């Protein structure tokens, strides 16, 4: 049985760990509300943007913009992996990285080359060890703003227009709830407008100013910016939710461990006291004899 001193020292160590996990849970809980509000506010705008592009692209030829024109010889792809910069958030980053790794392995026969762009330190570290990373952006989630997303989107668009890759896919964690985040894949380029849910309904006619082709050319880069910004917001909210859940579970496990160690400490202390009493009684009996 370990000594009383070592058990007491371990109890103190676990208590210190519990204080840290509780503090991290409180910090994530405080930041989660704002992050969740940002995600909820960004989703309708992104959905409406896709609907507008769907109407416009249906009325203009596909060759009016290279961002919607599918290339016949599509043999190079870019995968954008959006992860968080820190760990201690359960399987949030691990599940995402495994899905990205699986995508590269399953689609390697479809493309001659798959480049990786990592947004977030954890995804960058994982993909660099396995497949190599073409470009990376770390530490952007702590001070996230739309300008950052716009710069990343422009970088992706420039590479696409220069034919460094023919398709762009993105993988990220969609925020569903505090305890649930779903790994999601989406195609960024070429832009594929969503199909109308009510195909039987007669389409409405709109008057556009300027003309539809010019408006489409202006909205397509903005659409990529909005999608990048939304995925970053989803990642921030999911990161805080996953970390809060993980730290809550860690705090509960620490409390259970403290209880078990306290029981062991009390038993060891009782055994030591009993042993001392037995030695005293034996000494007294030997003196009488």
Residue partners of 214: CB distance under 8 A and separation at least 6:
none
Beta strands in 41-166, from DSSP E residues, in sequence order: 76-82, 113-119, 135-137
Count of residues making up the chain: 289
pLDDT for 204: 61
139: left (phi over 0), alpha (psi -120 to 50) or beta: left
Is residue 121 very low, low, confident or very high in pLDDT (cuts 50, 70, 90)? very high
pLDDT for 1: 62
Is residue 200 very low, low, confident or very high in pLDDT (cuts 50, 70, 90)? very low
Q: Is the pLDDT score of 6 beyond 50?
A: yes
Query: Which domains are delineated in the chain?
Result: 4-21+247-288 (1.10.287.80), 32-245 (3.40.1380.10)
Q: Is the pLDDT score of 288 beyond 80?
A: no
pLDDT for 210: 72
Beta strands in 6-51, from DSSP E residues, in sequence order: none
pLDDT for 239: 94
Strand 76-82 versus strand 113-119 pairing type: parallel
Which residue did the predictor score with more confidence, 206 or 39? 39
Share of the chain above pLDDT 90, in %: 59
Between helices 121-130 and 92-106, what is the axis angle to 10°?
Answer: 40
The pLDDT tens digits for 147-164 are 999 999 999 999 999 999
Share of the chain above pLDDT 70, in %: 91
**Cα–Cα distance for residue pair 263/247, rounded to 1 Å:** 24
pLDDT for 261: 93
Phi, psi of 175 (to 5 degrees): -80, 115
Region 63-76 average pLDDT: 82
Which residue did the predictor score with more confidence, 284 or 9? 9
Does the active-site annotation cover 97? no
Is residue 201 very low, low, confident or very high in pLDDT (cuts 50, 70, 90)? very low
Region 33-60 average pLDDT: 84
Q: Is the pLDDT score of 208 beyond 70?
A: no
Residue 80 in tokens: 């954008």
pLDDT for 65: 79
Q: In the 8-state DSSP scheme, what is residue 164?
A: S
Instruction: Give the chain's mean pLDDT.
Output: 88
- Cα-Cα-Cα-Cα torsion 219, 116, 69, 54, nearest 10 degrees, comes to -40
Q: Identify the H or E element spanning 5.
A: helix 4-57
CB atoms within 10 A of CB 67: 20
- Cα-Cα-Cα-Cα torsion 123, 126, 127, 131, nearest 10 degrees, comes to 180
Most confident of 4-8, 54-58, 205-209: 4-8
Q: Is the pLDDT score of 197 beyond 60?
A: no
Is residue 72 very low, low, confident or very high in pLDDT (cuts 50, 70, 90)? confident
Residue 6, CB-side half-sphere exposure with 13 Å CA sphere: 4
User: Among the options 89, 116, 233, 237, which is catalytic?
Assistant: 89
| Residue 271 CA, distance from chain mean position | 50
Radius of gyration of the chain (CA): 29
């Amino acid at each position: 049985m370990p000594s009383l001193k070592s058990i007491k020292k371990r109890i103190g160590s676990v208590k210190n760990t519990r204080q840290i996990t509780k503090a991290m849970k409180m910090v994530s809980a405080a930041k989660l509300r704002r992050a969740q509000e940002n995600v909820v506010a960004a989703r309708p705008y992104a959905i409406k943007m896709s609907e507008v592009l769907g109407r416009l692209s249906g009325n203009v030829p596909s060759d009016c913009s290279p961002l919607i024109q599918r290339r016949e010889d599509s043999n190079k792809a870019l995968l954008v992996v959006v992860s968080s910069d820190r760990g201690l958030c359960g399987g949030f980053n691990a599940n995402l990285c495994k899905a990205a790794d699986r995508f590269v392995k399953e689609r390697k026969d479809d493309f001659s080359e798959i480049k990786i762009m990592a947004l977030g330190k954890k995804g960058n570290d994982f993909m660099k060890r396995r497949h190599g990373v073409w470009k990376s952006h770390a530490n952007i989630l702590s001070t996230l703003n739309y300008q950052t997303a716009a710069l990343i989107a422009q970088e992706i668009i420039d590479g696409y227009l220069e034919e460094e890759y023919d398709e762009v896919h993105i993988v990220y964690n969609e925020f569903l709830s505090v305890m649930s985040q779903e790994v999601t894949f989406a195609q960024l380029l070429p832009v594929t407008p969503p199909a109308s849910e009510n195909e039987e309904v007669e389409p409405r006619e709109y008057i556009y100013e300027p003309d539809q082709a010019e408006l489409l050319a202006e909205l397509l880069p903005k659409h990529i910016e909005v999608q990048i910004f939304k995925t970053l917001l989803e990642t921030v909210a999911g990161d805080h939710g996953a970390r809060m859940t993980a730290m809550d579970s860690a705090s509960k496990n620490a409390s259970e461990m403290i209880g078990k160690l306290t029981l062991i400490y009390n038993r060891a202390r009782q055994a030591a006291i009993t042993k001392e009493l037995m030695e005293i009684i034996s000494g007294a009996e030997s003196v009488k004899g």
